[in-house]
């Protein structure tokens, strides 16, 4: 990301934290405390800030599958409003322990009613994935977005292996601009409802990559900032200043609410 300038653009508006590979528990606690303080400070300074201020608007926390953050932390409310998993964490296929486990399950799938080796192999991957996805929904009033940049989630079988609260809300997009406009609409809809008694909400975005029959934006267009991709003027609201549930795709790829 650094070589193509993406990291620099992110650092202008987000503070980046990374789960340490090594270190003492105190080091980890210090990292998370700094992360929480950054989120809290951004929330306090949100009122009255203009888009052109280029101030830090939040934080990004990089973590690994099967790690302490992805499976052991309670990142509720503003501490996690989106999860972007990268890939599907299948165990190393040729790892001797994995090979032996698959063979053992295959040999005992009838007599001891163990799941077949391939089914066990898939379950290990999706268990870790679903654990990570659950970081952004921690109570019934919580809400968050799950963005899956993964072609394999266009396969119904893989979608079915996601947790039910995710799989039944999946929306697939072949265009980056349309996906970001939908995401923005989702955030606008949920932000005023914070603290209200409502069922837990999540939106899972699937953006197929790199093979999709649907036309995509060019690489240059994808690097445009969010406001250029979907300017606020493209979103029309009703008299109550709430997003209308009806929308259509405009010529420039944004969602035009009507």
Q: Tens digit of pLDDT for each residue in 191-204?
A: 865 444 444 556 67
Burial tier of 13 (Cβ tally within 10 Å: 0-12, 13-18, 19+): middle
9 shares its domain with 130: no
Whether 141 has a pLDDT exceeding 80, the answer reads yes
129 shares its domain with 201: yes
pLDDT at 111: 82
Q: Tell me the helices (H) and strands (E) count for the chain, helix number first.
A: 10, 8
pLDDT at 38: 94
Q: What is the mean pLDDT of residues 58-83?
A: 93
126 shares its domain with 163: yes
Assign 49 a pLDDT band (cuts: 50, 70, 90): low
Nearest to 230 by CA among 190, 191, 173: 173
pLDDT at 207: 64
> Which domain does 34 fall in, by range?
1-62
Q: Where a domain ends, among 15, 42, 62? A: 62
Q: What is the mean pLDDT of residues 34-62?
A: 79
**Whole-model pTM above 0.85?**
no
Mean pLDDT of the chain: 79
50 shares its domain with 72: no
Start-to-end CA distance of the chain, whole Å, equals 37
């Amino acid at each position: 990301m650094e070589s193509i300038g993406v990291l620099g653009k992110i650092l202008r508006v987000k503070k980046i934290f990374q789960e340490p590979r090594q270190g003492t528990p105190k080091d980890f606690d210090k990292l998370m405390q700094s992360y929480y303080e950054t989120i809290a400070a951004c929330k306090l300074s949100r009122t009255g800030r203009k888009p052109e201020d280029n101030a830090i608007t939040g934080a990004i926390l990089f973590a690994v599958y099967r790690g302490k953050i992805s499976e052991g932390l309670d990142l509720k409310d503003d501490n996690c409003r989106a999860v972007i998993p990268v890939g599907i964490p299948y165990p190393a296929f040729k790892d001797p322990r994995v090979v032996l486990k698959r063979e053992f399950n295959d040999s005992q799938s009838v007599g001891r009613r163990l799941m077949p080796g391939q089914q066990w192999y898939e379950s290990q991957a999706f268990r870790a994935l679903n654990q990570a996805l659950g970081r952004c929904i921690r109570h019934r009033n919580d809400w968050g977005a799950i963005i899956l940049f993964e072609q394999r989630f266009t396969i119904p079988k893989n979608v079915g292996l996601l947790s039910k609260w995710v799989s039944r809300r999946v929306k697939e997009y072949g265009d980056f601009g349309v996906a970001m406009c939908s995401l923005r609409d989702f955030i606008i809809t949920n932000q005023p409802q914070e603290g209200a008694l409502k069922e837990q909400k999540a939106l899972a975005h699937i953006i197929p990559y790199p093979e999709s029959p649907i036309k995509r934006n060019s690489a240059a267009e994808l690097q445009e900032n969010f406001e250029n991709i979907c300017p606020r003027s493209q979103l029309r609201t009703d008299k109550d200043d709430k997003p209308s549930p009806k929308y259509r795709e405009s010529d420039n790829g944004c969602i035009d609410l009507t």
